[in-house]
Structure 1
Amino acid sequence: MNYDVVIVGAGHAGAQAAISLRQQKFEGSIAIIGDEPEFPYERPPLSKEYFAGEKPFERIMIRPEIFWQERDVVMLLSTRIVSVNPQNRTVRTNSGSEIGYSNLIWAAGASPRKLSLPGFTLEGIHYLRNRSDVDPMIENMDAVQDIIVVGGGYIGLEAAAVLRKIGKKVTVLEALDRVLARVAGEPLSRFYESEHRSQGVKILLGQNILEAFGEDKHVTGVRLLDGHEEPAQMVIVGIGVEPAVQPLIDAGAEGSNGVYVDEYCRTSLVDTYAIGDCAAHSNAYAGNEEIRLESVQNANDQAKTAASAICGNPLPYDAVPWFWSNQYDLKLQTVGLFAKHDDFVIRGEMSARSFSVVYMREGRVTALDCVNSVRDCVQGKALIESRKIVSRDQLKSASALKDLLK
């Protein structure tokens, strides 16, 4: 088997890479290799609408099966790549088969970071990344009343919101002193802590887990370092991910926490690209630091960048990061990167549950967290791109952020 482009990974990034190649009139052969049996599907609904039973699986597929057939994209599913040979331009599968390529796009994403603590191999302990993670939780939900969510990031809080909606008792265990600590400023953290507690979620901050315990090989609770025990018939762990790049690193690609790529998503290996969660890149909106972005926006935009380079029309990646999270009736839209801000302004009233946290660095807007405030998100993106210097008073008092661009 030989293809002009081999795409490793059938998630958002891999699917978009194939779509973009065909949109740009690429006529060569394309194969997508995915380690799941399903055709490409959306990941965010796994902790939202799909988990809640509001969307069937067919409605979260990125494209129907016939789409890939009509565009002559070969799908090699239930297949995992274990090694890359850049000299021979081949990848080896877990079954020992070799697949040749002219261009390789690595879009393998990431895998959930596991808790290597006593008891965390018991039945009833779950990680939330793929459909195969979520379906067993849905199937066993009727037999469960007490659920512990380990990790107060977006995934954990989204899961908690869904679980409260269906009437489960939920406890969130967070090791840091606030939820969302790695992705947002303190005002937003405290707002979401308050919202979840008002919905009946028990949030325990600054907590370290000693072990999980159980009966008959099934979890019945979690014991904390201070000796406190929380009951649970199900535990959902959401403590981050590890980029799936080891075969590329073993083949000589530069990288550590992800594989390094340039502005065209090229790795240090010839005719080899990396995109999405696994790609570490220099980002202008992070002060040109090497970062990985775990978002659909980044996956799609980097896929388009790699496809353009392969088609001979190289366009550097330069997209403002954005992200969203739905919890209860709160729609959070984040644009830009809040890290290294030196000031912030709150627009609107948090008590009204429609507001924006605007982050600044050296007088310029670098990011916004917009809760039920779509207009601020859209106009704030343009303000970030403009790099215009604005004052705190201007940000706070402007009736519309677009007025500050004049």
Structure 2
Amino acid sequence: MSAAEQTFVIVGAGLAGAKAAEALRTDGFEGRVVLLGDELDRPYDRPPLSKSYLQGTTERDKIYLHPPNWYTDHDVDLRVGTRVTALDRPAHEVRIEGGERIGYDKLLLATGSSPRRLDVPGADLDGVHYLRRVGDCESLQAAFAAGPRVVIVGAGWIGLETAAAARAAGCQVTVVGRSKLPLLSVLGAEVAAIYAALHRAHDVELRLDTGVVEILGDGRNATGVLLTDGHVLDTDVIVVGIGITPNTELAHAAGLRVEDGVVVNQYLATSDPDVFAAGDLANTFYPHLGAHLRLEHWSAALNQGPVAAANMMGKPIPYDRVPYFFSDQYDSGMEYCGYVAHGGYDCVVFRGDVTTGEFIAFWLQDQRVLAGMNVNTWGVTDAIEALVRSRRRVDPVKLADPEVLLRYLPGAAAVGAQ
């Protein structure tokens, strides 16, 4: 069968799925491309939902990945509001709600993830919000405008970014978290303390080392949050950001290997060589780390989609990017390159002035850079990535010294960065 006679189906019309479809056409695939999404909107970028779009500084048209006519112009059969109910691997078909079956030669699963629900009494009351889709974001915008008191359950990235947006809207904000510091499991105590101070400096109350027992209400609307320490927080709006769960139902029912997501190799192929996975869903093997990781980051979806597309076309390309993510909170922007398992580092080395909010933090183990985070310090991500990838020992004193350019450190010499 020629490539022009093949059908590639992509289940999931988020960033990974849309970028895979784009790459198929850019790289010359002439067969049929079907892109199936259960949302009513065409593919859009999710980071603005907790950042600029939530704050009203980005227009809705700017969040979409392609103009409305791009899909027809590139002969991509985009079907929004379409739920795939089953994957029939022996028949090489997907089944759509309503009974239609679509055959495929290669299939990409890019079904993303869903917010983890708060499992306490009262969690289904009106006024309890989750943030994942554009409609969720717009509901929050309206809620922040109408309700001055906001409680955010969860002190991770979504919780803190949402807190910053709520403060920008003039709300009184309390963040509830189970750890002793926000982002503790991701950043460690040294850097997590910086984010705690940042939010306190913007008048956010942090109720840490506690959890939620019950959402209180008047029978319909949420009016308060009862904490494990017995304290009651009166509120108008509750935002739950306690993590996400990969949408593995299709893969699991089809008998694919599922372990904290759909397990794929460095070529993003699942246990079925005709089925691939990318984005939040994929538990991917990273050759330079020698380990599988499922990363819930924008960059993984952005970059895995095109790599999956290439491999579907029979062009073997391994996915081996250094993990990357970014966050914007108040006037603090950051980029993070690398990966550190919880507690898996010896020390943190700071370069720059933490008190002014312009610095780089490096996580080291055995004097090797595992990850680096630049805060309000730009143009250094290539050098940080090179340091991480090289796995060469670095003198911590030189690493901390702004007078020693990063490009002169072992492993970063080739990038010509600062």
Q: Identify whether the pair has TM-score above 0.5, normalized to the shorter chain.
A: yes
- Within the candidate set 385, 388, 392, 1:384 is matched to 388
Residue 366 of structure 2 corresponds to residue 362 of structure 1? yes
Cα distance in 2 for partners of 1:186, 1:375 equals: 26
Cα distance in 1 for partners of 2:88, 2:273 equals: 11
> Match of 1:326?
328
Residue type matched to 1:191 in 2?
I
- Within the candidate set 18, 27, 31, 1:28 is matched to 31
> Match of 1:373?
377
Measure how far apart 1:82 and its partner are.
1.8
Residue type matched to 2:305 in 1?
A
Q: Contact 1:276 / 1:303 at 8 angstroms: preserved in 2? A: yes
Cα distance in 2 for partners of 1:113, 1:288 equals: 29
Q: Deviations over 1:212-261 (max 9, x none)?
A: 01114000010012211001111100111000011111111001210100
Q: Deviations over 1:16-72 (max 9, x none)?
A: 100111111001110110010000000000001111111121111011111111110
Q: Contact 1:332 / 1:371 at 8 angstroms: preserved in 2? A: yes
Provide closer, same or farther for how the CA distance between residues 169 and 398 of structure 1 changes in structure 2, counting only shifts above 3 A.
closer
Q: Contact 2:25 / 2:74 at 8 angstroms: preserved in 1? A: yes
Q: Contact 2:266 / 2:287 at 8 angstroms: preserved in 1? A: no
Q: Deviations over 1:241-291 (max 9, x none)?
A: 000011111111001210100111000124000000000012245x42222
Cα distance in 2 for partners of 1:264, 1:149 equals: 38
Residue 10 of structure 2 corresponds to residue 16 of structure 1? no
Residue type matched to 1:172 in 2?
V
Q: Deviations over 1:149-200 (max 9, x none)?
A: 1111111100100110111000000011111123212222111111111111
Measure how far apart 1:393 and its partner are.
1.1
Cα distance in 1 for partners of 2:17, 2:123 equals: 32
Q: Deviations over 1:298-322 (max 9, x none)?
A: 1122112111112221111110111
SS in 1 for 2:187: coil
Cα distance in 2 for partners of 1:403, 1:135 equals: 47
Cα distance in 1 for partners of 2:150, 2:106 equals: 45
Residue type matched to 2:406 in 1?
L
> Match of 2:47?
44
Q: TM-score, normalised by structure 1?
A: 0.97
- Within the candidate set 76, 79, 82, 1:76 is matched to 79
Alignment of 1:106-185 (within 5 A): 106-185=109-188
> Match of 1:341?
345
Cα distance in 2 for partners of 1:290, 1:75 equals: 31
Residue 319 of structure 2 corresponds to residue 317 of structure 1? yes
> Match of 1:281?
284
> Match of 1:87?
90
Cα distance in 2 for partners of 1:270, 1:191 equals: 45
SS in 1 for 2:159: helix
> Match of 1:67?
70
Residue type matched to 1:403 in 2?
Y
- Within the candidate set 209, 227, 230, 1:227 is matched to 230
Q: Contact 1:356 / 1:376 at 8 angstroms: preserved in 2? A: no
> Match of 2:416?
none
Q: Deviations over 1:310-356 (max 9, x none)?
A: 22211111101110000001001101112222222111111011011
Q: Contact 1:3 / 1:100 at 8 angstroms: preserved in 2? A: no
SS in 2 for 1:267: coil
Alignment of 1:191-270 (within 5 A): 191-270=194-273
- Within the candidate set 384, 391, 406, 1:401 is matched to 406
Measure how far apart 1:103 and its partner are.
0.7
State, as a whole percentage, how many aligned pairs show the same letter.
Answer: 36
Cα distance in 1 for partners of 2:6, 2:134 equals: 28
Q: Contact 2:145 / 2:169 at 8 angstroms: preserved in 1? A: no
SS in 1 for 2:186: coil
Q: Contact 1:383 / 1:402 at 8 angstroms: preserved in 2? A: no
Cα distance in 1 for partners of 2:146, 2:219 equals: 15
SS in 2 for 1:55: coil
Q: Deviations over 1:88-135 (max 9, x none)?
A: 111112223222111110000000000111000000101101112112
CA RMSD of aligned residues (A): 1.4
Measure how far apart 1:382 and its partner are.
1.8
Q: Contact 1:355 / 1:371 at 8 angstroms: preserved in 2? A: yes
- Within the candidate set 289, 292, 309, 1:290 is matched to 292
Structure 2: runs of 5 or more not aligned? 414-418
Q: Contact 2:144 / 2:166 at 8 angstroms: preserved in 1? A: no
Cα distance in 2 for partners of 1:392, 1:294 equals: 30
SS in 1 for 2:123: coil
Measure how far apart 1:385 and its partner are.
2.2
> Match of 1:57?
60
